[in-house]
């Protein structure tokens, strides 16, 4: 790509986002969960639910007998921002800017991964979100060794880099069936862009004893 701007001309913005399941629900069976954490500020811990009233009434009742409600301070900040400072137009502008920022960080992260992790992992370039999912290309010896993903986790710690093991997201929990599945999740949303190359270089070193050589 000669012009870096060409990469971002076809971002969906607001109007071309993939339709949600809620938009095609005609029976009132879909519950949609949204959060400000990934697009505004993680510490707010504030979001919203869109669902039929018979469901939201039950959720409200559960809240009233458990957590009462989300933090009032967070709700006040979001309300002030959405209703007075930004309004709907300002919120959409912020979302488009965030979408662009994530796309730029993704592209930088992917380029570095392709440079340093060739022959060590494979991954699909995401079209949304803030994570890369790696499948570790274990060599023949490592692939037959029980507990190898635990060894890789220790190797990452020793090399001062940390990814989330895939089994953490499995509905099966930490069972033998999934503990050694060679998957890891990397986030490109939090770390400074200047640290991407250092982190991926460390990951390459951590994976070296367990994977194929660079191709």
Length of the chain: 215
The model's pLDDT over 70-97, given as tens digits with 9 standing for 90+, comes to: 788 999 999 999 999 999 999 999 999 9
DSSP 120: T
pLDDT band at residue 4 using 50, 70 and 90 as cut-offs: low
The model's pLDDT over 18-41, given as tens digits with 9 standing for 90+, comes to: 899 999 999 999 999 999 988 898
pTM for the whole thing? Answer: 0.84
Give the per-residue pLDDT at 12: 86
Torsion of CA 199, 204, 205, 206, to 10 degrees: 90
> 3-state DSSP call for residue 58?
helix
Q: What is the DSSP string of 150-214?
A: HHHHHHHHHTT---EEGGGG-TT-S-HHHHT--EEEEE-SSS-GGGHHHHHHHHHHHHGGGBPPP
> Which residue, chain included where needed, has tokens 């367990």?
210
pLDDT of 212 > 80? The answer is no
pLDDT of 166 > 70? The answer is yes
Distance set, CA 176 to CA 146, 163, 180 (Å): 9, 20, 7
């Amino acid at each position: 790509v000669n012009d870096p701007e060409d990469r971002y001309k076809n971002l969906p913005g607001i109007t071309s986002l993939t339709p949600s399941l809620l938009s095609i629900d005609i029976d009132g069976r879909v519950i949609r969960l949204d959060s400000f954490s990934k697009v505004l500020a993680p510490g707010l811990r504030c979001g919203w639910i869109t669902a039929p009233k018979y469901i939201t009434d039950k959720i409200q009742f559960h809240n009233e007998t458990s957590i009462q409600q989300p933090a009032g301070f967070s709700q006040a900040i979001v309300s002030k921002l959405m209703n007075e400072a930004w309004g709907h137009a300002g919120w959409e502008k912020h979302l488009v800017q965030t979408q662009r920022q994530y796309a730029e960080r993704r592209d930088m992260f992917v380029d570095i991964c392709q440079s340093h992790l060739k022959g060590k992992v494979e991954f699909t370039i995401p079209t949304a979100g803030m994570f890369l999912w790696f499948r570790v290309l274990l060599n023949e010896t490592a692939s037959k060794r029980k507990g190898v993903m635990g060894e890789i986790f220790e190797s990452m710690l020793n090399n001062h880099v940390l990814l989330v093991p895939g089994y953490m997201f499995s509905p099966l929990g930490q069972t033998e069936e999934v503990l050694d599945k060679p998957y890891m999740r990397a986030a490109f949303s939090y770390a400074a862009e200047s640290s991407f190359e250092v982190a991926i270089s460390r990951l390459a070193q951590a994976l070296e004893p367990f994977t194929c050589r660079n191709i």
